[in-house]
Structure 1
């Protein structure tokens, strides 16, 4: 059986998937929300959400987050994903950052980028959030396939995001 290196697999996972299961924590306890994201080097995931959402309000009080990025349609034999920890903050919503987010998400938007930008600006609850990924892990494929042991391999976050970023430069 051929095994892909963890770095190669992590790049593939981050490029192929658009959603992250984001975990936050507030006074009511832990919370998970699925949000659409775009990756940006050197180690950021950006997403748009309402500031009154539970996860939006939670990161204002406790910026520590974790998440999982994976293909939920894969079979057990194909299962793979990135698990990460980091911190999250509401950005200043600058025009350049919003355009970067919308341009990278353009193929999954309902409307053209300029219309999406206008809709974002028209809704006072919409915010652009930035996750700074500190640590990331992928499944140890060899251990899983050969021994059925569910363990993780650490991924170099800077190298992961640099490789993903190079795909946007084309």
Structure 2
């Protein structure tokens, strides 16, 4: 299997899923994970909307380092596909809100269109972005080409 195929598999996982698990660290160094609806922009930028008062948002204000897992939890045991990321996350700057809010809302399929005004203080929500610094793809132990009998991970987009 070529690196190109691994990259394509990872892209398919990202496109097929709507939620990612976001891992942050609190002020005491304790981990916190939360699922968030996300919109990807390629495989580098990942956007979500949250309250700035939520636990993960407060954690991000102190420490921009995050971990992310994107996967489909509804598949049968042994059939999982997943992408793991390390990233730097922060609020989307005000001067980028027009573009980024439209990008985020586009994936919602008309269910909700967030305006920049709804995502800027003093509003209740903000638009966040995680910018990936490292990516890995889950390789199932029984993968016909890369399986070793034990699940592993391979770097993608390196």
- 2:50 and 2:135 map into 1 onto residues whose CA distance is 23
Residues 11-53 of structure 1, C-alpha deviations (whole Å, 9 max, x = no match): 1101100111000001241100100111114610011000000
**Match in the other structure for 1:117:** 115
**1:84 Cα offset (Å):** 0.7
Q: SS where residue 128 of structure 1 aligns?
A: strand
- In the alignment, is the contact (CA less than 8 A) between 2:27 and 2:62 conserved in 1? no
2:152 maps to 1:155: no
Give RMSD over aligned pairs: 2.2
The 3 A distance-change label for structure 1 pair 12 and 121 is closer
Which structure 2 residues correspond to residues 1-170 of structure 1 after superposition, within 5 A? 5-28=5-28, 29-41=30-42, 43-93=44-94, 94-106=97-109, 109=111, 111=112, 113=113, 116-117=114-115, 120-121=118-119, 124-141=123-140, 144-145=141-142, 146-156=147-157
- 2:138 and 2:102 map into 1 onto residues whose CA distance is 33
Which structure 2 residue ranges, 5 or more long, are not aligned? Answer: none
TM-score when scaled to structure 1?
A: 0.77
Residues 34-73 of structure 1, C-alpha deviations (whole Å, 9 max, x = no match): 0011111461001100000010111111000001000000
